[in-house]
Amino acid sequence: MTIFLGLLLWPKKETTQKTTETIETKPYNQEVAMPDYLNKPKGINWGEVVLEIPEKMVIYKYLDKKISEEEMKKFVELVGLDYGQKKISSSGLILFNDDEGKYGAYVDPINKKFQYVENIYYKSDLQSVDKMETVDIQKKLMELVKELSGGQAGININNTDYKEMVSPDWVSATEDKADAVEISASLTVDQYSINNFNGSPIKAVYRRDGKLLKIEIGKRWGNTEIAKEQRTVNVDELKKMGPSQFLISTVTGGKDYQLATVSENISQVNLTGLELGYVYIPEKAELWPFYFASGNSITGNGPVKIVLITPATKDN
């Protein structure tokens, strides 16, 4: 069975490191309930981060409450399954499987999620006679999302990583040893990336010949309206915030880190870049502005890349 290890590479400016004294103040924005399943760093070293920011940012509200039946049919068709085999689970998920149980998909209409997977039991199932260029595999993903969204969705490729199966996990590999290519992507609004609290809303794994093995898509397109505008937290204010006001969105490490059986606490994060973007808030069906601070840290299982997040606007 395939497993996603979320990887993000955010555009960043290289900077020199210096430790900035932080003061634990109240969060600037208390309207967004931050999830309790993400950890917090123990300390942050800020570099000389420079970022031009707008005075205000817009909060968007989705008018589409759920995934439509037409979108479900389109997704099932795109991944090669039969919509006539639709089943509804007790939790409300719409399930689709082939007769042999090798291929499966589900749609969560309320939480706006699509997922498809080919169950891989043997490494031999990953053998490819021909290898497709990685850029062409990226194009395949972009075309699939474009068709599913009816052309509404802009998409950014966040990261592409080569993977090999170390059963039952996928771990990073060199290009010559890779069995598959994993792609993480975001949709966009106003040229800003839209992400989840824990990373990219689109994650896909393709065999080296371009065959789709797994995909997860969070629907982030559709009709929206402006819910409100709020003032943007500036960079100086951001640097004065304590580490408890940041969440660790993603951690990306090498093979040893990926295969570690015990998760490690992240102590000090050395920041190297800062971006503005949006996070989808499921409870509100809204897009809220967030800062995405990228950096690195050291763990017992090697160096890791980190993305921290915190709300980017003030509610007062």
Q: Which of 222, 238, 258 is the last residue of a domain?
A: 222
User: In this predicted model, what pLDDT tens digit does every residue of 65-89 receive, in sequence order?
Assistant: 789 999 999 999 999 999 998 999 9
Task: Name the residue among 67, 22, 3 with its Cα closest to residue 259.
Answer: 3
**249 and 206 in one domain?**
no
- Angle, CA 79 vertex, CA 186 and CA 77 arms, to 5°: 110
**298 and 152 in one domain?**
no
Do residues 261 and 172 lie in contact, with contact meaning Cβ atoms separated by under 8 Å? no
Q: Which of 207, 222, 237 is the last residue of a domain?
A: 222
pLDDT value of residue 134: 94
Q: Which residue has the higher pLDDT, 50 or 164?
A: 164
Q: What residue ranges in 65-211 does DSSP mark as E strands?
A: 87-88, 94-97, 103-108, 113-118, 155-166, 169-172, 180-189, 192-195, 202-207
* Burial tier of 96 (Cβ tally within 10 Å: 0-12, 13-18, 19+): buried
**313 and 231 in one domain?**
yes
Write the CB contacts of 94 (distance below 8 Å, at least 6 apart in sequence): 72, 86, 87, 88, 106, 107, 108, 109
**238 and 102 in one domain?**
no
Q: Is residue 2 part of a domain?
A: no
What rounded mean pLDDT belongs to the chain? 86
Do residues 278 and 195 lie in contact, with contact meaning Cβ atoms separated by under 8 Å? yes
d(CA 76, CA 84): 10
Q: Name the token pair of 205.
A: 């794994």
pLDDT value of residue 9: 32
Beta bridge partners of 59: 228
**303 and 236 in one domain?**
yes
d(CA 297, CA 240): 20
d(CA 139, CA 131): 15
Do residues 125 and 115 lie in contact, with contact meaning Cβ atoms separated by under 8 Å? no
**155 and 129 in one domain?**
yes
pLDDT value of residue 26: 65
Structural domain containing residue 57 = 7-63+224-316
Residue ranges in 21-154 assigned as alpha helix (H): 69-78, 134-148
**282 and 241 in one domain?**
yes
d(CA 53, CA 50): 10
**211 and 91 in one domain?**
yes
Instruction: State pTM to two decimals.
Output: 0.84
Count of domains forming the chain: 2
Do residues 247 and 39 lie in contact, with contact meaning Cβ atoms separated by under 8 Å? yes
Q: Is residue 1 part of a domain?
A: no
**pLDDT over 90 for what percent of the chain?**
58
Beta bridge partners of 37: none
Query: CA dihedral in degrees (216, 222, 228, 234; nearest 10)?
Result: 40
d(CA 258, CA 158): 19
User: In this predicted model, what pLDDT tens digit does every residue of 261-312 receive, in sequence order?
Assistant: 556 677 889 999 999 999 999 889 999 999 999 998 888 778 889 999 999 9
Q: Which of 204, 222, 240 is the last residue of a domain?
A: 222
**73 and 59 in one domain?**
no
Q: Is residue 108 part of a domain?
A: yes
**92 and 51 in one domain?**
no
CA 37 to chain centre: 15
Average pLDDT over residues 18-38: 70
